[in-house]
């Protein structure tokens, strides 16, 4: 098979790294060669953050090139807009319907773009949800990433049980249940 190429984007501090690692671990457990690429240091300070996950029989480069992304997972609308051109022709875009203003917008130097989701839908297959709202309903605002992962998982080949098992292994022990519940809510959105 050709490798599966996943890109996770968001704003520093949103937990994109943990999500990427769960995807990578799940693919490794399924017997694939896996490579991930992360961003540390300067880019973590509220900046735009990008991680890549690739799996397949043999994977060479740890990054995914523009035009090669099968599934793009964005934790924020503007970041989805920024990176949507990484998608393949038939790639899928998963978007958390949330807005975080970059400093350029906060200080009034730039406008936050309008109608991002509608614009993206004209070119791409888009699945979106408000993960923040769902996380709040579950009583823990920190499980946003598990909700998003749940929706993204519907586009990947691994079983629901495989995901739940990996979440249990990866998140802090006290939060396993709520993270799994969050995952299921995201997963159910596309049922």
Residues that bind another protein (CB under 8 A): 11-13, 21, 24-25, 28, 33-48, 59-63, 65-68, 78-79, 81-82, 84-85, 87-89, 100-113, 119, 123, 141
Write out the H or E segment, with its range, that includes residue 129.
Answer: strand 125-129
In the complex with another protein, which residue's Cβ is closer, 132 or 184? Answer: 132
In the complex with another protein, which residue's Cβ is closer, 33 or 97? Answer: 33
In the complex with another protein, which residue's Cβ is closer, 162 or 190? Answer: 162
**Packed helices 144-153 and 16-29: angle between N→C axes, nearest 10 degrees:** 40
- Region class of 153: left (phi > 0), else alpha (psi between -120 and 50), else beta: alpha
In whole angstroms, the minimum distance from the beta carbon of 186 to another protein comes to 19
In whole angstroms, the minimum distance from the beta carbon of 144 to another protein comes to 10
176: exposed, middle or buried (C-beta count within 10 Å: 0-12, 13-18, 19+)? middle
In whole angstroms, the minimum distance from the beta carbon of 191 to another protein comes to 29
In the complex with another protein, which residue's Cβ is closer, 59 or 126? Answer: 59
| Token pair recorded at residue 56 | 């397949």
Residue linked to tokens 């888009």: 126
In the complex with another protein, which residue's Cβ is closer, 101 or 157? Answer: 101
| Token pair recorded at residue 88 | 């393949």
How do strand 125-129 and strand 69-74 relate by DSSP bridges? unpaired
In whole angstroms, the minimum distance from the beta carbon of 67 to another protein comes to 3
In whole angstroms, the minimum distance from the beta carbon of 1 to another protein comes to 15
Contact criterion met (CB below 8 Å) for 93 and 126: yes
């Amino acid at each position: 098979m050709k490798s599966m190429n996943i890109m996770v984007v968001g704003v520093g501090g949103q937990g994109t790294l943990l999500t990427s690692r769960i995807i990578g671990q799940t693919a490794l457990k399924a017997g694939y060669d896996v490579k991930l690429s992360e961003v540390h240091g300067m880019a973590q300070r509220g900046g735009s953050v990008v991680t890549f996950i690739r799996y397949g029989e043999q994977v060479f480069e740890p990054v995914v090139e523009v035009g090669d992304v099968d599934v793009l997972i964005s934790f924020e609308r503007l970041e989805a807009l920024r990176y949507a051109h990484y998608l393949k022709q038939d790639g899928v875009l998963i978007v958390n319907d949330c807005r975080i203003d970059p400093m350029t917008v906060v200080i009034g130097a730039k406008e936050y773009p309008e109608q991002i989701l509608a614009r993206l839908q004209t070119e791409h297959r888009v699945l979106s949800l408000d993960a923040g709202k769902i996380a709040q309903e579950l009583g823990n605002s920190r499980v946003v990433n598990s909700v998003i992962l749940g929706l993204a998982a519907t586009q990947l080949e691994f079983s629901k049980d495989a995901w739940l098992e990996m979440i249990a292994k990866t998140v802090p022990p006290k939060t396993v249940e709520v993270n799994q519940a969050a995952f299921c809510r995201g997963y159910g959105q596309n049922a």
